[in-house]
Structure 1
Amino acid sequence: MKKLSLLILALGILPAVWAQPHEEAARDTTWKELYRESAPRINDLVHTKLDVKFDYSKSQMNGKAWITLAPHFYPTDSLTLDAKGMDIHKVAIVKGASSQPLKFDYDQWKLDIKLNKTYKGGEKYTIYIEYTAKPDEVKVQGSAAITDAKGLYFINPRGEEKDKPTQIWTQGETEATSVWCPTIDKPNQKTTNEISMTVPAKYVTLSNGKLAGQKNNGDGTRTDTWKMDLPHAPYLFFMGVGEYAIVKDTYKGKEVNYYVEKEYAPVARKIFGNTPEMMGFFSKVLGVEYPWVKYSQIVGRDYVSGAMENTTATLHQESAQQDARELLDGNAWESTIAHELFHQWFGDLVTCESWSNLSLNESFANYSETLWDEFKYGKDAGDAQNYGDMQGYIGSQSEKKNLVRFYYNDKEAMFDAVSYNKGGRILHMLRSYVGDSAFFKSLNLYLTNNKFKPAEAHQLRLAFEEVTGRDLNWFWNQWYFGAGHPKLTIDYIYDDNAKTVQVIVKQTQAGDKTFTLPIAIDVYNGAKKVRHDVWVKNKVDTFTFSYNSRPDLVNVDGNKTLLAEKKDNKTLENYIHQYKYAGGYLDRREAIDFASRNQDNPKALELMVLALKDKFHGLRSYAISKLDLKNETVRKQAEPVLTEIAQRDTKTTVRGSALTALAQYHDGAYKSLFTKSVNDSSYSVAGTALDALFKLDSAAAVAEAKRLAKYQAKNRLMESITNILVKSGDEASFDIIAKAFKDMPISQAKFNLLQPFCDFLTIVKDTKKVKEGVDLVVDFRDELAPYGAVPYVNGMLKNVINKKNAAFTAEADKARAKEQTDYINEKIEGGDKKGF
């Protein structure tokens, strides 16, 4: 799963709040003594057959289940199933064509069944259950990863929301399938399944496996039957229902389908169309062909997370649906598409044995984003993805958490920047250490040995040890079963008399832990490089290298694969050489960082200007963002390059960055460029141009914003339109602003708009509109509640109250002021109860 929380963390929303783990926030700390073992396997699931009908009026589901099981090893005369918040109507043992009622106890959580006899290990039996699932009545705590966990979701079931489609979708991870399907809801269970769904005939359905049959019932409904013939974990069961366009694709004769809302059918291939190529790439590098009968992807409204890798049927958040103009700026969802696809091997084919071992699912899916970018778009793109994810982990302040950890407050707490970002970076280091050939051969062995089974981290280690012939306990103990990361200070002492350079690597992280780090140190003379492979093992290590002439650069961690925070005490000349000759993404980024802190130095400025034309678009934008345009010399030297970039760069996002920079010149000569660019087909270019125009001519920008608001606008452009209308202080723009805020999914753009929107509410006099706006803020606050954002958003609402009270002192209508502020206070008090 690509967790919504990790998407938010990647966007930089409230990283300090997110860094406070659930465990630390919990008052009850008894969990610290509770070892989270793998769930005991008393009975094993073998096959699950469901026949379900949906009651849209009640948001309920009536189900019949035939569950085939067998005792794992020891004989047993009882069975316990997870079944959350259901009405259980009947439980029976199936005996041929008939059935025999069984005694059972049910506490709305667990269904304890007394079997008709004692069954031996491996002896199959089938239980029949009739039940009603009532997901809206189930009280299950969500998390920052999944905002709630009611398993089965009815979206606009009665069609009461005008602009929202009617849909049904399920979300099983971690243990929410048992809200709509009695099962043993643990990741170490595997079962085949068959699901028959009866739905209104106008809808299409999606589930695991192959569509085996469709039956028109003559009453306006249709029953679709889906069969999954290979075993997978219950949390990967899926049902999806709605009015979708199905855009068909193929991979080696297997169905590849994209279920999108009909308006997105023309661009579905631009969003998801790289999927077959991804399937081929992942199959090739792993040496394990895509293992399932088909692969479909579906988009769900109001989805509670980012995306979910249900076997053969991935569910995506509605943010995946981008229009043609959005896609000009790049497919923002492509890494998520790769992430969920890679789960079909790591998570679905081989599943973590327990949530403690979640790394075996999520670290791999996270790392697939780097692998795909590297393959499809080049090494710079892969390294940029890897670096961004590393910064996401470091920013999460999660140094105290092991990657594999057996003590946690709640299983949902495992879905964090350690299981995802840090785990992916650990795989990147492992790949660098053993080499590509051994790395992918080891993954092949792991997948082959454990296919259709649950696994734990040691099985991954054993696969790597078998392939490499090396004992890797030190690596697993340090990175998988240990916490933290190294913080390094690197110094250099050159002795031209002795013709030696000393490289001093000091580990400065808190505590007694010392990391063992195999690293490469590259010594450069001109373009010539000599590599030295060394091991850092102590708090302070010194490495001495001889030279004939003083090196132009000594580059520690030459591959730039180390998960670490580094203070690397190189000179400007070293960094200039690094940019030009070491040449990797991080080599160049580090050089840009150093030069940006020294822009008064002509050589540093020369490097900054050079970086504006970097071969990788991400570094071009980054260099633009680091320019000190308050420095007159920098302004003069950068201006012609920025002007050229703003008009001709091949990447729209870089053009947008250049327009933002040119806006800082406050030069009327650029007004025509900004005005022209406002109409660019790229949302990124149009939005940044509109902001730039506002700085030159606010009245013209407001007029443009009102004009553009009449047409479809998203992302950067909508953010700009809304911000400008807010700044204009025109209360007549409320409907435009409110709709824009409402329609935005959880994103950096919406978070950025939160403060301006609250400021706008302070000038709105219409009480009805104030309440509507406050409700939108509160809805967003509640969506962010699992991330600890309630106090932050409530603080903004309190500021609205304070400003209104100040404004209304001179107003005759004190009653209106009181009604508005009382309403806001009521919402604040309600939100405080939801915070944690």
Structure 2
Amino acid sequence: MKIKIWILLAFLSISTLSFSQNNAIYRAEREKTHNLIHTKLKVNFNFDKKELNGEAWVTAKPHFYATNLFTLDAKAMLFDEVSLNGTKLNYDYDDAQIVIKLPKKYTKEEKFTIYLKYTARPEKVKDKGSAAITGAKGLYFINADGADKNKSTQIWTQGETEGSSCWFPTIDAPNQKTTQEIYITVPNKFVTLSNGSLVNQTNNGNLRTDYWKMDQKHAPYLFFMGVGEFEIVKDSYKNIPVNYYVEKEYAQYAKDIFGNTPEMIQFFSEKLGVAYPWNKYSQMVVRDYVSGAMENTTAVVHGEQAYQTPGQLIDENTHENTIAHELFHHWFGDLVTTESWANLTLNESFANYSEYLWQEYKYGEEAAEMYMHSNVSLYLEGQESDKDLVRFNYLDKEDMFDIVSYNKGGAILHMLRNYLGDKAFFESLKTYLNDYKYKAAEAHQLRLIFEKVTGKDLNWFFNQWYFGANHPKIDVSYDYNKLRKTVTVNILQLQPENFQFPLTLDIFEGNKRRRETVFVENKDASFTFPFNTMPDLIQINSDGVLLAEFNENKVLSDYIFQLKNATHFMHRREALLEVVKKQDDKVAFNAVVSALDDSSYKIRVLALENIDLINKFSKKDAIRKIMQLANNDAKTLVKAAAIETLGKLTDPELKSIFTKGLQSKSYAVLGKSLVAMYYIDKDLALKKSKELPDDVRKILATPLTQIFIESKDETELPFIAKSVVSGMFLSGQGSTKVMYEKAFKMISKSNNMLAIQNLVEDMVTKGNQYKKFSFDKVVINLMRTIIKEQEKSTNTNKDRNIAIVKEAMTGLL
């Protein structure tokens, strides 16, 4: 499962959830009274009632103890028949579990098959979602009545964590494994997707039954069923079908979005030493999905954010890491599955780390460094350091899907890889996958595999990183002895726990750099190194591997040297953020200008965003260099940032650069060029903005909103309204958020009924989508603001506008 962590961080401040670990309840692995063997399903759908009509044949046997009771999870269902070999059975049902009374005690050597005829009613499910997965009803009917002409009718399922038992009876626990087959009956116009192979299709008038079969065992939460009008874009890896299920308008872009998948399969197979273990790999993009993506075995589902056009993809495929993430789950999560949600790290930390591995392989070490810095920063900023990675006292299983299980867990695997070495690390993963394939496992078993392969005792590592919380917070100081030509590096850990870890240091003497590695065992440690000439800089954690926070007393000259000489992206970025604060110093300003040539495009963008061109030294030289970036940089995101920086100068002599930008295939460049052009040629910018196709205008909502607000163009208020809520609360930049707040006020006071309606519809959508964050409460407060503004106005439409808002509020309340 891939979640949108940026959404989580955006709403932490307004969430009413408690994430405390001080809960005394022990969350054990689900007790195995029975083992699932096989699940056979026949389903069809009642679109009007949003219900599923199903038949299930569940084959199982007792795990160890003989018993005459069989319990299945089945939420909000109606049962017409429960039988064994044609004989009806008695049962008790509490709307969550059905306890079936078998005709005799079955032993662990005896299997049986229960038949259940049932109706699944997902709209009646009482379970709630989470920050990661915003719904928990298992089965979702999208635009079931076809009333929304802009949205296709779809049905899809979401099993993690316990949603599968909302649409078929099962033992809904990750430590269960079962083979499956499913017959899906749908109108002929629909395509279906499920796990395993499509064995055959049978037509019956206007209906068709697709028969899907999965011969390899996997967990019930990984069952998937998708129905809709999709184009199937075919690809392959060796003899394995790799298909992309997308809506028709995106079929031409499917391989641009997902086309690296076959190469990913090959890379991960070779890296792990375990061939891709399944018979196909399909990916489907659905509407109104409740998370980012989900690793259903052989049938991955993605949310709409996967859809991108060439104008976006030329800048960056923002979904590429997610594609890698879900694929890697097919080894870690699908082949070997966490035995309990407390051990979720065995699924999600590995999938998170796969994103680093893919970046490293495909785009190089620096790209991987940029990824890991972003990944770790989200954890450090998330203020969740009080949680263990493996934790048995969570308040709710859904709470396990957080930046600890994902981001911190991925960083921990990176540390373990560097400590053990690549050969030992990947040989251990290969052994783990082979030993536990088609089974469930826990973190201790992972540790024992690493110990078996390497011969090392790793309790110390797992105790502090897997079964402990927090991370090192370190004060660093230096003692130089010029007489002996030595420097002593002092490490003082400030957090309550004592961490042990290897630590790299780069010692710079002029143009010479040497790397030292030490092992820190105590909270107060010192290490002495010789030098020939006084070091210009000592870079702590020089390889960027250790997950820690460092405090050092560095001066401007240290940061300038670090910006120019540090080998790791993280340290150059850190230095740049300090140097830009001192641009009244000529040397510092020139260092920022030099950063425009950095090998990392993110450093170049950061320098462009922060360079101060007002009354500065060598200003003409700096502008000349920025012009070169705007015209020639290999990365379109750098070109866009350069154009934005030049646009702030409002210099008509730069018009040719902005004009060229208006012809760019890159939407990032186009958007920045429109805004820059607006301040030197307002009429041209407005003309170009209004001529853009609707699908492009939607993607460029932020720059266009800025232009329309600046020009006070009320005819564009309906367009602006469609993106205001997202912009106000999900924007990462304060200036952008302020701009959207201006837009909100403008619409709230307007006489434009369509704009009010569009704004409210967007609010309702976002409020429902992020209920777990109490975002619906924030939206309601905004709606009240609209009502107050309308009540004060002399708008002829105000009564109708107020009625629209109140009706929407009723739905959220």
Q: How big is each residue's C-alpha offset from its partner over 1:84-103, in whole Å with a ceiling of 9 and x where there is no partner?
A: 01111100113xxxx11110
Shift in CA distance, 116/243, structure 1 to aligned 2, threshold 3 Å: same
Contact 1:251 1:279 in 2 (8 A): yes
Distance between the aligned counterparts of 2:498 and 2:695, measured in 1? 58
- Indicate yes or no: 2:27 matched with 1:44: no
Letter of the 1:650 partner, please give it: A
- Classify 1:745/1:215 alpha carbon distance in 2 versus 1 (closer, same or farther; 3 Å): farther
Q: Kindly indicate whether the alpha-carbon contact (under 8 Å) linking 2:478 and 2:488 is maintained by their aligned counterparts in 1.
A: yes
CA deviation after TM superposition for structure 1 residue 435, in Å:
1.2
* Change beyond 3 A, Cα 1:812–1:248: closer
What are the Cα deviations for residues 305-330 of structure 1, in whole angstroms up to 9, with x where unaligned? Answer: 10000000100001111112111112
8 A Cα contact 1:705 1:725, kept in partner: no
Question: In structure 1, what residue type is equivalent to 2:704?
Answer: I
Partner AA of 2:11 in structure 1: L
Q: What is the identity, as a one-letter code, of the residue corresponding to 1:454?
A: A
Matches of residues 256-295 of structure 1 in structure 2 within 5 Å? 256-295=242-281
Amino acid at match of 1:266: Q
Partner of 1:196: 183
Which string of whole-angstrom CA distances, capped at 9 and with x for unpartnered residues, describes residues 428-453 of structure 1? 11111111111111111111111111
Q: Provide structure 1 residue ranges, at least 5 long, that are not aligned to the other structure.
A: none
Q: Does 1:158 align with 2:142?
A: no
CA deviation vs aligned residue, 1:344-389 (integer Å, no higher than 9, x gap):
0110001111100111111111111111011100111111111101
| TM-score normalised over the length of structure 2 | 0.95
Change (3 A) 1:40 1:292: same
- Equivalent position to 2:126, from 139, 154, 177: 139
The alpha carbon displacement at 1:637 in A equals: 4.3
1:90 aligned to which of 81, 92, 98: 81
Is the Cα contact below 8 Å between 1:77 and 1:119 reproduced in 2?
yes
Query: Contact 2:722–2:758 at 8 Å: present in 1 too?
Result: no
The CA distance in 1 between the partners of 2:728 and 2:558, in whole Å, is 45
Q: Is the 8 A contact 2:290 2:769 kept in 1?
A: no
Match of 2:24 in 1: 33
Q: Evaluate the alpha carbon distance shift between residue 488 and residue 635 of structure 1 in structure 2; reply closer, same or farther with a 3 A threshold.
A: farther
Q: For 1:721, which of 672, 687, 704 is the aligned residue?
A: 704
Conservation of the 8 A alpha-carbon contact between 1:256 and 1:296 = yes
Aligned to 1:23: 19
8 Å contact kept, 1:22–1:413: no
Deviation, 1:694, is 2.9
- For the residue of structure 2 that corresponds to 1:597, the secondary structure is helix
| Distance apart, 1:711 and its partner CA | 6.1
Residue 74 of structure 1 pairs with residue 65 of structure 2:
yes
The answer as to 2:655 corresponding to 1:671 is yes
* Bigger mean CA deviation after superposition, 562-571 or 123-132: 562-571
Answering whether residue 714 of structure 2 is matched by residue 731 of structure 1, we say yes
> Aligned AA for 1:359?
T
Q: Is the 8 A contact 2:701 2:720 kept in 1?
A: no
CA distance in 2, matches of 1:617, 1:16: 31
C-alpha spacing 1:212/1:709, structure 2 compared with 1 (3 Å): closer
Separation in 2 of the partners of 1:628 and 1:508?
36
Aligned to 1:522: 506
Which whole-Å deviations, capped at 9, do the CAs of 1:49-107 have from their partners, x for residues lacking one?
0011112222111111111001001111111100001111100113xxxx111101111
Equivalence for 2:628 = 644
Q: Is this contact kept in 2: 1:627–1:634, CA < 8 A? A: no
CA drift of 1:551 comes to 2.1
1:281 to partner: Cα distance: 0.6
Matched, 1:621 2:605: yes
Give 1:565 shift. Answer: 1.6
Residue in structure 1 matched with residue 3 of structure 2 by the alignment: 3
Sequence identity, in percent? 47
C-alpha deviations, 1:521-567, integer Å up to 9, x for none?
22233444333221223333222112222123222212111111222
Structure 2 gap ranges (5+): none
- Which residue in the other structure is 1:115 paired with? 102
* One-letter amino acid of the counterpart of residue 126, structure 2: K
Indicate which of 194, 203, 206 corresponds to 1:220. Answer: 206
Q: Is the 8 A contact 1:754 1:777 kept in 2?
A: no
Query: What are the equivalent positions in structure 2 for 1:239-638 lying under 5 Å apart?
Result: 239-509=225-495, 512-630=496-614, 632-633=616-617, 635-638=619-622
Change (3 A) 1:449 1:745: farther
Deviation of 1:460 (Å)? 1.0
**One-letter code of the match for 1:58?**
K
> What is the deviation of 1:822?
7.0
How much does 1:242 deviate? 1.2
CA distance in structure 1 between the partners assigned to 2:775 and 2:708 by the alignment: 26
1:726-751 CA distance string (max 9 Å, x none): 44333322333345669999964999
Q: Deviations 1:25-64 (Å, cap 9, x if unpaired)?
A: xxxx9x8121100000001100000011112222111111
**Cross-structure match for 1:13:** 10
Measured after TM superposition, the shift of residue 7 of structure 1 is 4.5
Partner of 1:703: 687
Partner of 2:198: 211
**Which amino acid letter does the alignment assign opposite residue 550 of structure 1?**
M
Q: Separation in 2 of the partners of 1:393 and 1:663?
A: 34
Q: Cα deviations across residues 122-177 of structure 1 (Å, max 9, x unaligned)? A: 31110000001111222221111111111111111221110111111110000000
Counterpart for residue 184 of structure 1:
171
Measured against aligned partners, the alpha-carbon deviations of 1:705-736 in whole angstroms (never above 9, x if no partner) come to: 22225563343x23212332244333322333
- Could you tell me how far 1:793 is from its partner in structure 2? 3.8
1:679/1:737 CA distance change after superposition, 3 Å: farther
Q: Secondary structure at the match of 2:172?
A: coil
Distance 1:104 1:421, change over 3 A: same
Per-residue CA distance 1:753-812 (angstroms, 9 max, x = gap)? 753442232232144642442232232233222223344444444444454455x2xx38
Q: Distance in 1 between matches of 2:810 and 2:480?
A: 64
Q: Give 1:676 deviation, angstroms.
A: 3.5
Does the 8 Å CA contact 1:709/1:721 hold for their aligned counterparts? no
Is the CA contact (8 Å cut-off) linking 2:718 and 2:756 kept in structure 1? no
Residue 13 of structure 1 aligns with an amino acid whose one-letter code is A
2:62 aligned with 1:63: no
Check the 8 A contact 1:258/1:297 in 2, yes or no. yes
Q: Report the AA paired with residue 616 of structure 1.
A: S
Quote the Cα distance in structure 2 between the aligned partners of 1:536 and 1:147.
42
Kindly indicate whether the alpha-carbon contact (under 8 Å) linking 2:724 and 2:744 is maintained by their aligned counterparts in 1: no
Alignment of 1:728-807 (within 5 A): 728-739=711-722, 748=731, 752=737, 755-767=741-753, 769-804=755-790
Deviates more, 1:333-342 or 1:671-680: 671-680
**Distance of aligned partners of 1:755 and 1:781 in 2 relative to their CA distance in 1, 3 Å threshold:** farther
Q: What TM-score, normalized to structure 1?
A: 0.92
Provide the rounded CA distance (Å) in 2 between the counterparts of 1:229 and 1:742.
46
Q: Secondary structure at the match of 2:331?
A: coil
**Contact between 1:199 and 1:223, CA under 8 Å: does it hold in 2?**
yes
User: Structure 2 vs 1, CA of residues 748 and 44 (structure 1 numbering), >3 Å: closer, same or farther?
Assistant: farther
Structure-2 separation of matches of 1:292 and 1:724: 51
When the two chains are superposed, the root-mean-square deviation of aligned CA atoms in Å is 2.5
Aligned residues: 810
Look up the equivalent residue of 1:3 and give its one-letter code: I
Give 2:112's aligned residue: 125
